[in-house]
Amino acid sequence: RILKAIGAKPRRTIRVAFWAGEEQGIHGSREYVHAHFGNPRDPKVGVKPDYEKFSVYFNQDYG
């Protein structure tokens, strides 16, 4: 809504996600990846050409 209100028109999709349960084993983010991209342990998941266009930030806090 903020981007729309200021008239910004991003060239790419902007997706913001918040998860719970990270301290107990990254359950939320792992399930998100499974639901939208497939099993990250499957080598076929990483060979899609569209993945080269991704810009991501990973926060892995194993304390």
CB 32 within 8 A of CB 38: no
| In the chain, where the domains are located | 2-53
H or E, element range at 32? helix 27-36
Instruction: Report which of residues 45 and 56 the model is more confident about.
Output: 56
Percent of the chain with pLDDT over 70: 65
pLDDT digits (tens, 9 = 90+) for 29-43: 777 877 877 776 776
- Return the pLDDT at 6: 94
Percent of the chain with pLDDT over 90: 6
CB 61 within 8 A of CB 21: no
CA dist list (Å): 2 to 9, 29, 41, 43, 63: 11, 25, 36, 38, 34
- Return the pLDDT at 42: 73
Tell me if the pTM is above 0.75.
no
